[in-house]
Amino acid sequence: MARSVAEIDAILSEAPSPDREAMRIKQYIDFAFIAFYAALFVVVSIALGRRTRWAWTIAVFGVLAAIYDVLEDVDILHIVDIPLDSVTQQMVLHLHLMSVVKWMFAASAIGLLGALTLRSRRWFMRLIAAVDFLAAAMILWGLMDNPWLVWAGAPLAAGMIANAATLRFLTVKSAKS
């Protein structure tokens, strides 16, 4: 969520450096995480798709979040590869925009998932919906106050894991029982 070259300078030291290599490794790990959460949003959408057409919106928002996450990671990898004096404000603003758009789509996907899960009669599904809403709210607040994005990760992960664990309750067959 860096907004200026000075903020990038505060995060990265001049190349080559261990912090740049650590950042590079984190970005490569993030690519695997992106594939996981995009697939999870699609699978949950398929499960919910039998009950409502709105479910497909979750997949669209989740995949769009993943696309912008990849673009953000590519921007970060580019910045990690160049000297600090070559980083321009336009590069940082593009990186920031990719991050903001990613988080907006992620908040939309998890918030809509919460709204559709809230319709369940099962108490634990409603609890998961509340966690999803909390994650979406924290993400949106985090766009204004960036440290909140770090804290939003816990309810976001908890909601996604809980949704995945209870996937069978989202299907038509189990919804009738």
CB 94 within 8 A of CB 79: no
- Give per-residue pLDDT as tens, 53-64: 889 999 999 999
Task: Report d(CA 170, CA 172) in Å as an integer.
Answer: 7
- Give per-residue pLDDT as tens, 42-55: 999 998 888 888 89
What's residue 176's pLDDT?
A: 45
- Give per-residue pLDDT as tens, 105-159: 999 999 999 999 888 888 998 999 999 999 999 999 999 998 899 899 899 999 9
- Give per-residue pLDDT as tens, 88-101: 999 999 999 999 99
- If one counts every other C-beta atom within 10 angstroms of the C-beta of residue 175, the result is 17
Q: Which long-range contacts (CB under 8 A, 24 or more apart) does 164-169 make?
A: 164/40, 164/43, 164/44, 166/124, 166/125, 166/128, 167/43, 167/44, 167/47, 169/120, 169/122, 169/125
Task: Report d(CA 137, CA 176) in Å as an integer.
Answer: 31
- Give per-residue pLDDT as tens, 11-30: 887 877 888 899 999 999 99
Provide mean pLDDT across the span 68-79: 97
Q: What confidence tier does 170 reach under pLDDT thresholds 50, 70, 90?
A: low
What's residue 172's pLDDT?
A: 46
Share of the chain above pLDDT 90, in %: 65
Residue showing tokens 């200026």: 4
What's residue 48's pLDDT?
A: 87
- Would you say residue 103 has pLDDT above 70? yes
What's residue 171's pLDDT?
A: 62
Task: Report d(CA 30, CA 42) in Å as an integer.
Answer: 18
Q: What confidence tier does 175 reach under pLDDT thresholds 50, 70, 90?
A: very low
Q: What are the tokens at 157? A: 């992960």
> How far separated are the first and last CA of the chain, in Å rounded?
45
E strand or H helix that includes residue 176: helix 172-176
Share of the chain above pLDDT 70, in %: 95
Length of the chain: 177
How do the domains of the chain map onto residue ranges?
5-172
